[in-house]
Amino acid sequence: MREVRVFAPATVANVAVGFDILGFAIDRPGDEIVARLNPDFTGVRITAITGTGNKVLPMDTEKNTAGVAAQRLLEHLGMGSTGIELEIHKKMPFGSGLGSSAASAAGAAVAVNELLGSPLSREAILYFTVQGEEVADGSFHADNVAPCLVGGITLIRSNESLDVHHLPVPEGLHVAVVHPEIEILTRDARAVLSDQVPLATAIRQMGSLASFITALYTNDISLLGRSLHDHMVEPQRKQLIPGFDAVKAAALQRGALGCSISGAGPSIFAICDSGYLAQSVGQGMQAAFRELGTDSQLYVSPINQRGVEILSVTG
């Protein structure tokens, strides 16, 4: 049987200044998805899920992010009578703020598209991946699935119309991401947010977002660092992450350009101007967590420009 195996990378959403509209991909961790043709049935079936530890993910296609993304893609292509089985190999923590559900959805959509001869572009696949992601947190947004799918730093002008744009990545930019051994669900992280934003706060946030994008286009690292301040969401969500202020302070003291919450948390990211510095910053962040009695995992990576990678095609 024809088989496709892909790797879907973790992502950092919001990037401090762009709640629900900015995101970037990193090299590791990520999920592996396997899709293969099976003439014994029609539609999409999930045949295996590994790497979940004590968590239970639904095998039901319509309740699984990967299953929904693959099934909607199949329906769009008018190939609902085709039988496809999926294996989902989770290689990243749940509830980490690193886009775990988005990785599964994006990986499944790319794998199925490749399995069927690549009839759609990555951009055209995006809609189906967002539908899959929506199963996980009930919100239609692309700040994780877009960078996972196509790589780089992405700006979503409109989630409703999925008007997505690539932003330039300054040379040498690296990120340290520290995932503490606690779990925060996206639904819970959204629940703490107020739907009222003071005008002065909105103005500061808009200025930070505009200057961040300007810094990317002008390769102005100093401006980028001055821009990475979340005036709107971080002050509300940091209460969910014990020790956040100490960890952020450790990152900035070691020279990070900026530091904030990755997605819904609890992972914390720090952007740096070199890989060497990112490693040092990440170790400092881990040390701060250790002082609080919290174990953590460190991932150091450049901005991943590839997105979902096809590892193998057989048959």
Residues in the annotated binding site: 93-103
* Residue 133 is a catalytic residue: yes
List 82, 186, 234, 294, catalytic entry: 186
* Residue 186 is a catalytic residue: yes
Secondary structure (DSSP) of 247-297? HHHHHHHTT-SEEEE-TTSS-EEEEESSHHHHHHHHHHHHHHHHHTT--EE
Element (H, E) at 147: helix 145-150
Q: Are 15 and 153 in contact (CB under 8 A)?
A: yes
Cα distances (Å, whole numbers) of residue 35 to 3, 20, 101, 258, 308? 6, 29, 17, 39, 14
List 133, 134, 234, 294, catalytic entry: 133
Q: Which parts are annotated binding residues for ATP?
A: 93-103
* Reduced DSSP (H G I as helix, E B as strand, rest coil) percent helix, strand, coil of the chain, to 5: 40, 25, 35
* Cα-Cα end-to-end distance for the chain: 6
What is the rounded CA–CA span in Å between residue 194 and residue 233?
Answer: 9
Question: What residues act catalytically?
Answer: 133, 186
